[in-house]
């Protein structure tokens, strides 16, 4: 079954490596991950004063995330942490209080960097925010993609054959299965609850 996936890229750079990784993932699982890139560069900085009358960009972003079955974060690391533009998007989506569009959405995180440790610090800061926001986070495979450069991609911007593409392929399959499992489990639980309620009614 195809799942709608909102991809949020934590880099605004035109030639972003993380955006290329995100595109490669969409290409790898085009059959059952229906991916949309959700733009975050135009989101005004989060300000609680604006909650009563939110900017249209916030509303657009919230609607796009709300419509998805799962969220995939592909992000660089900035100064050993989460890029500000991505943190702002997470904050925007998480509010107003009690109306977070991230609530219960299954998610996964990929961080890519030319550096050796593949954005480990950023990856875990994103994870921390998402766990707080009640998002079931895929645990494995972890994706700290190190030594990623322009040369990791072909002319069409997709990952070249090799260990990096192999890891990303495993991740794309695992993410599909993760989203499927979360939604299917909820559906079965809802069916069980409805069945139990019907049984209780009949015995009353």
> Rounded to a whole number, what is the distance in angstroms from the first to the last CA of the chain?
39
Q: Which segment (57-65, 75-83, 93-101, 176-184) binds ligand FMN by CB under 6 A?
A: 75-83
Q: Which of 13, 104, 184, 186 binds ligand FMN (CB under 6 A)?
A: 13
18 binds ligand FMN (CB under 6 A): yes
Give the contact letters, 133-172, x = binds to ligand FMN (CB under 6 A), - = no.
----------------------------------------
Alpha carbons 25 and 161: distance in angstroms, whole number: 13
Q: Which of 64, 113, 125, 152 binds ligand FMN (CB under 6 A)?
A: 113
Interacting residues with ligand FMN between 77 and 106 (CB under 6 A): 77-80
Q: Which segment (9-17, 45-53, 134-142, 159-167) binds ligand FMN by CB under 6 A?
A: 9-17
Q: Which is nearer to ligand FMN, 53 or 79 (CB)?
A: 79
Q: What token pair was written down for 170?
A: 């495993």
119 binds ligand FMN (CB under 6 A): yes
Spatial contact of 156 and 125, defined as CB atoms under 8 Å apart: no
- Burial of residue 77 (CB within 10 Å: 0-12, 13-18, 19+) is buried
Strand order in the sheet with 144-145: 33-37, 3-9, 70-75, 107-112, 144-145
Three-state SS sequence of 83-127: CHHHHHHHHHHCCCCCCCCCCCCCEEEEEECCCCCCCHHHHHHHH
Alpha carbons 172 and 70: distance in angstroms, whole number: 12
Alpha carbons 160 and 166: distance in angstroms, whole number: 10
Shortest Å, Cβ 85 to ligand FMN: 11
Spatial contact of 150 and 17, defined as CB atoms under 8 Å apart: yes
Alpha carbons 175 and 53: distance in angstroms, whole number: 35
**Residues touching ligand FMN, count (CB under 6 A):** 14
Q: Which is nearer to ligand FMN, 76 or 93 (CB)?
A: 76
Q: Which is nearer to ligand FMN, 78 or 178 (CB)?
A: 78
Q: Which is nearer to ligand FMN, 100 or 152 (CB)?
A: 152
16 binds ligand FMN (CB under 6 A): yes
Tell me which residues touch ligand FMN (CB under 6 A): 11, 13, 16-18, 76-80, 113-115, 119
């Amino acid at each position: 079954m195809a799942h709608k996936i909102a991809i949020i890229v934590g880099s605004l750079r035109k030639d972003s490596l993380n955006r290329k990784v995100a595109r490669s993932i969409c290409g790898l699982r085009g059959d059952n991950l229906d991916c949309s890139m959700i733009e975050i560069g135009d989101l005004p900085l989060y300000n609680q004063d604006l909650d009563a009358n939110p900017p249209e960009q916030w509303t657009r972003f919230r609607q796009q995330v709300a419509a998805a079955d799962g969220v995939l974060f592909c992000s660089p690391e900035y100064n050993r942490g989460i890029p500000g533009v991505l943190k702002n998007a997470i904050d925007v989506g998480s509010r107003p209080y009690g109306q977070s569009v991230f609530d219960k959405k299954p998610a996964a995180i990929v961080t890519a960097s030319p550096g050796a440790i593949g954005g480990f610090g950023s990856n875990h800061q994103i994870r921390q925010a998402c766990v707080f926001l009640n998002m079931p986070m895929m645990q494995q495979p972890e994706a700290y993609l190190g030594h990623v450069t322009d040369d990791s991609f072909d002319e069409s911007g997709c990952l070249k054959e090799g260990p990096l593409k192999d890891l990303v392929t495993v991740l794309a399959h695992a993410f599909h299965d993760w989203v499927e499992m979360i939604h299917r489990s909820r559906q079965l639980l809802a069916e069980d609850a409805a069945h139990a309620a019907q049984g209780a009614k009949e015995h009353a």
